Chain A
Amino acid sequence: SSELTQENAVSVALGQTVRITCQGDSLRAYFANWYQQKPGQPPVSVIYGRNNRPSGIPDRFSGSISGNTASLTITGAQAEDEADYYCTSRDNSVNLLLFGGGTKLTVL
């Protein structure tokens, strides 16, 4: 089916490592992108493709894909990383771009 499933909410202690996952059949063959969104702001890309960081994104953000699951890992989470995170994937067989439902990350 064409959908991407994420955890609703995840929490992490300051300075610890957290992984947010995104599951979907379209991820078996395609790339996943990750976006960070803070309240009242547009999303910002943090990971694209297999594991690429746009300019200005700290290297504590990394991405990976295994089977039908993509993961965003934040190594040494900071207070400013508290936000909603969305995965996306493109299913070119049906010309469809999918968004995951989003994960609210809380940094304790």
Chain B
Amino acid sequence: QVQLQESGTGLLKPSETLSLTCSVSGGSMRTYYWTWIRQPPGKGLEWIGSISHTGNTNYNPSLKSRVTISVDTSKNQFSLRLTSVTAADTAVYYCARDYPFYYDNSGYYGYFDFWGQGTLVTVSS
């Protein structure tokens, strides 16, 4: 059974950099895409970005200027870096496996079949 576990700093001050790591166990990172999603308290889900096992990335345009997602398949981990955080970045951050079930000329279509439990990141002065 594949398991994902987020880890990282839970409390940040405005303008600092958020750094989270997702550790993957129970399966290989190859073939799949790996994603970060966040959820502000009491609100809906927001896709942050995804990375393939080879390092190809896609980011939410609204966050693209501040986001970097990286992968280290030798450690079975992928990471999120979000710079210049504000209170609006306070959220539960989830990592998830994106299982591709269909391909066409425009790319792939996947769904998130395994999720981490989520980690709360609070930005406060």
Which of A37, A45, A99, A100 contacts B111 (CB under 8 A)? A45
Contact, CB under 8 Å: A92 / B111: no
Chain B residues with CB below 8 A from A93, complex form: 106
Tally chain A residues at the interface, Cβ within 8 Å. 27
Chain B residues with CB below 8 A from A52, complex form: 101
Q: How many A-B residue pairs have CB under 8 A?
A: 64
| B2 interface contact, C-beta 8 A | no
| A33 interface contact, C-beta 8 A | yes
Chain A residues with CB below 8 A from B113, complex form: 45, 54
Interface SS, B side: strand
Contact, CB under 8 Å: A31 / B102: yes
**Closest Cβ–Cβ distance, residue B1 to chain A (whole Å):** 11
Chain B residues with CB below 8 A from A54, complex form: 111, 113
Chain A residues with CB below 8 A from B60, complex form: 96-97
Contact, CB under 8 Å: B44 / A49: no
Q: What 1/0 flags go to A77-94 for Cβ under 8 Å of B? A: 000000000101010111
